[in-house]
Structure 1
């Protein structure tokens, strides 16, 4: 048997919980008649390097050399422009309006799209520079080393493009954070058997040469730099024959965090696309209460 409750109407319920009718306002409702504080000119003391919005989530299309070669993912955007001294503020709604426009056209995370976006953004906002920074999970297939069991891995990727109309130039930055296995060389050296290992996180940030931005998959290049210098790769699926190979490979390639950042830095130094880079490795130590961390920053010029 269903119990019945004698409820008041929804309007009466809202009134009981504090809702009040709207007042008759005196301010204009037409956009053309509304005051525009952001566009009120004055001397506002300082120009602003960047102002805008961040933590904006939007679906995007990602192309990859690895399978799946075309994927849709959710990216997090930061959209900013400069602001001159005589302007109080920017029209922030234009930022998301442009993002929606590119979404409707199919927003592909390529440097070509980001280049056009930042230039158009600076022009729409009537400012000298604009920056788009986007972070997103990138997925790729990985086979287990012995039995070829296929599963999906992922890394956290980043792209950043800045347009400066004063010199009509762009700057291009990329980033990738991936997980690896590292085995402690000291533990291997002093122990009668075995050695402790742990999951390490390699974070790479790069500045690219402007004339080197092309269709080459920078994500794979950064992933290779991290994984090929680690003690072993991580895998989504491992059976016993696979696990044997992975653990033995890790034992054959012991790495401190210091070793990791130096080896990854060497790969990035040899990469002709990369102008400057930062490499960080952080190990979640398996027998210590702390993490171990090391960082290298280097500029080729």
Structure 2
């Protein structure tokens, strides 16, 4: 499901103060950029959702990894460049696009939309070849890390492949999405320290999973009518997860962090409050 979230609106990047030849404000949309690409490439760019908003997706994927790298670094020091590799691995467009490709491959006979595979613009064989290229790129990034992190990163592939199936067999696909999206909480720490510290990584991972469960449950509420029509399952029990991120992050905070950490934690809490403060009756765009 979360791989479909980025298909719900078109991102607008306003160029403030810029004027066109007729005095109209200039603007740039992701869809316009994709439309201007060579025609043979356009279906693949749309398959990667590059014509849709991806900023929130990348922020969601990279948040737990960013926290983990920061916690693992020596006090008062920035992590080395090589330690930022897992962050890039989790946040680059290719990381999210792998899930989009796999999701559309599973859904090609179920959801008949303008998605490239379902519409016949990309064949099943071509989608397999394209996915192979995406995974090869991800592997190349992963090989920059230590052996423990390589194995840990490779293990996440099982979650990436099976997540799209969860909406067919369980009412908790958002939980599977959270487990997938927040794998960076484990990978970031291991990239810096060489292995995971369960006392830190597990509470952080749990917090990220609950965060994902909250915001994707909101999306599930907005799409519940459509999901019912096509027989897809989703959890709408947002109340079960509302306090979990705060509790999990609080456990991590007991590690004796400094004031900047708690200031950031307060900002995260405010962001979570804003995410949950929406009308669940509004349909997604």
Q: TM over 0.5, yes or no?
A: no
Q: Which has the higher contact order (CA 8 A, sep 6+)?
A: 2
- Structure having the higher strand fraction is 1
- The higher radius of gyration belongs to 1
Write 1 or 2 for the structure with the bigger share of helix.
2
